[in-house]
Amino acid sequence: MRTSLLLSALAISVCATPVLADPLIILRKGQPRSEISAEASPDRSPISRGDSLPEAEAAKEAAPVAVEPRAEVPPAVNVQNVPRPAGRRAPSTWLEASALSWRISDGPLPLAIVTRGDSADALPGALGQAGTRVAFGGRGLDYGQLGGLRLTAGAWLDNEPIGVEISAFALNQGSRSFAVRSDMNGSPGIYMPAFNVMTGAEGSLIVADPVLGYAGGVSVQSESRLHGWEANALFAAVRAEWGDVDLLVGYRSMSLQEKLAIRNQSSDLIRGTFTDIADFFQTDNQFDGGQVGLRATRYHGNWFASVAGKIAFGPTRGSVTTNGVNRSTTPAAFFEAAPPPLPNGTFAGGFFNQPSNTGSQTQYEWSTVSELNLRVGCDAWDCVRAFVGFDLLCWNTVARPGDQIDRALNLTQSQVFGGGALIGPQRPTSIFQTTDFLASGVSAGIELRY
């Protein structure tokens, strides 16, 4: 009875066990491979050999599991885990100081301010006369090479993906001056040419003339000052073995202030009168706008070369101020002899500035400021970088003093020259003219990196 029950259970167990299409041959511990091959049935099933149930289950559990090889997935590449070349360390903060040697666009002065002439001409010193020679004006004012300083500070906020950078620069004041003076007898002849709207012809203001008995001189002084600053957010676009690429988005402010002063002093050698006439032209340009840019750096060992381009869009507020003053004095002895040809005192208005154009005006114009920076340098130590570079800055809409002069004059409105009552056209008139402005030159600096 017990034997019958055991055989029945074995039969049920065998029927319930699925037959493997190609079961693995399991090597028993301590049994040679040849013996197992010899004992195995054609279907290589250990159960078909009459093995007991416990032995079959043990063989099944001991069978190795075939696992397919899994493809390796490369780690995600981002700016945090890209290795940098040996010897180059990415700074978290940096502070830079660089010396500038730039040139700016010549100050425009398209009209002749001072001439020398021949007293034998019908209108000595006037343009178009045979003996007239231009002594000053008619071409730009060269301010020469200007020194300056630029300071920059920046930091990466979270191991390089996003950063901030602030930079400011200023150039030394550029100046250009000119002066010419006659001797005490009025030689050589000196004149200030202008177009006389009342006669419809060229004329001139006599400053010195040996025949007519005037002695004096003319001086011209021009000044220019440029400075600006910017603040940018930095975005690390590329980090690779060959170098870096950063995107810049921020704000830029620029300021250009210029002055032009023209002064002539003349003595009437016959009557003893003395006149001191001055004209002043001043412009102030202020730009504020948003900026975008790109900066790429290429590395070769400890050496690097970089190029950065930025462009800003926004309004330029331009202001033009013009005024003048005329001082006239006459000796007391001459007053006793005859009425003076000129009134005594100080009066508003000069020569190129009259009541018709004296005052201030302001205009806003949409403009752009673009900048290109090229640099070459080396990482001298882990925390010190030295470089030299070239910079180019372009501002497409600025007002400059020399462009605001109207040389067509109606001197009837002058209290000194014409009695003060305007008769005829209102000239000179107020002018607001803009032009392009360029600043370019070399730079050299040191950057501290931490």
The answer to whether residue 368 sits within a structural domain is: yes
Residues 248, 304 share a domain: yes
Residues 142, 45 share a domain: no
Residue-level pLDDT at 2: 41
Residues 165, 22 share a domain: no
Q: How many domains does the chain have?
A: 2
Residues 369, 290 share a domain: yes
Residue-level pLDDT at 330: 72
The answer to whether residue 121 sits within a structural domain is: yes
Residue-level pLDDT at 338: 44
The answer to whether residue 75 sits within a structural domain is: no
Residues 109, 49 share a domain: no
Residues 315, 386 share a domain: yes
Residue-level pLDDT at 89: 53
The b/e string for 277-300 (b: 16+ C-beta within 10 A; e otherwise) is: bbbbbbbbbbbebebebebebebe
Using one digit for the tens of pLDDT, what is the confidence trace for 80-130? 444 454 445 567 899 999 999 999 999 999 999 999 999 899 999 999 999
Residue-level pLDDT at 121: 94
Residues 14, 163 share a domain: no
- Mean pLDDT across the chain: 84
Residue-level pLDDT at 343: 74
Residues 169, 27 share a domain: no
The answer to whether 388 and 441 have CB atoms below 8 angstroms apart is no
Instruction: Output 68 or 35, whichever has higher pLDDT.
Output: 68
DSSP-derived secondary structure for 35-83: HHHHH--TT--SGGGT--HHHHHHHHHHSPPP-PPPPPPPPPP-TTTPP
Residue-level pLDDT at 14: 37
The answer to whether residue 23 sits within a structural domain is: yes
Residues 396, 352 share a domain: yes
The answer to whether residue 73 sits within a structural domain is: no
Using one digit for the tens of pLDDT, what is the confidence trace for 62-73? 555 555 555 454
The answer to whether 105 and 402 have CB atoms below 8 angstroms apart is no
Residue 98 structure tokens: 């660089």
Residue-level pLDDT at 380: 85
- pTM of structure: 0.78
The answer to whether residue 85 sits within a structural domain is: no
Bridge partners (DSSP) listed for residue 317: 286, 364
What is the rounded average pLDDT of the residues 133-158? Answer: 95
The yes-or-no verdict on residue 253 having pLDDT over 50 is yes
Instruction: Output 317 or 329, whichever has higher pLDDT.
Output: 317
For 324, counting Cβ atoms within 10 Å of its Cβ (0-12 exposed, 13-18 middle, 19+ buried), the class is buried
Instruction: Output 42 or 278, whichever has higher pLDDT.
Output: 278
Residue-level pLDDT at 49: 43
Half-sphere exposure of 449 (CA within 13 A, CB side): 17
The answer to whether residue 320 sits within a structural domain is: yes
Residues 268, 141 share a domain: yes
Distances in Å between the Cα of 24 and the Cα atoms of 27, 56, 102, 217, 441 are 9, 12, 84, 117, 81
Residues 113, 28 share a domain: no
Q: Locate tokens 């001139």: which residue? A: 204
| Ranges 19-28, 174-183, 208-217: which has the least confidence | 19-28
Give percent of the chain with pLDDT exceeding 70: 77
Which domain range does residue 295 map to? 93-449
Using one digit for the tens of pLDDT, what is the confidence trace for 372-430? 999 999 998 889 999 999 999 999 999 999 999 999 999 999 988 888 889 999 999 99
Residue-level pLDDT at 45: 42
Residues 18, 118 share a domain: no
